[in-house]
Amino acid sequence: MNNTQQINTLLDLNLDDMMRECAAMGIDTIEHSELIEEMYEDGFDSYEVKEMVEVIQDRDHYSYIPSL
């Protein structure tokens, strides 16, 4: 698949497809449904959603450190 085909595939992606992709990547789509919807509307893909979920989880995990 070349870059043009990948871009066209992303452009054709609807919110349900995005939710399925996120679920397949192990993202809790119930807990993060609002984030997924917002990022979908802003044009992000499921890999970027996964990165953001990881950032949020890391931030929550290290919240006891005041400098963060």
Q: How does pLDDT run across 29-55, given as a tens digit for each residue?
A: 999 999 999 999 999 999 999 999 999
Encoded tokens for 52 = 């953001």
Q: How far apart are alpha carbons 36 and 15 in whole angstroms?
A: 9
Q: How far apart are alpha carbons 27 and 31 in whole angstroms?
A: 9
At which residue do the structure tokens 């995005």 appear? 18
**The model's pTM:** 0.73
**pLDDT number for residue 41:** 92
Residue 36's closest CA among 24, 28, 61, 55?
A: 28
Q: What is the mean pLDDT of residues 21-27?
A: 95
Q: Is the predicted pLDDT of residue 5 greater than 50, yes or no?
A: no
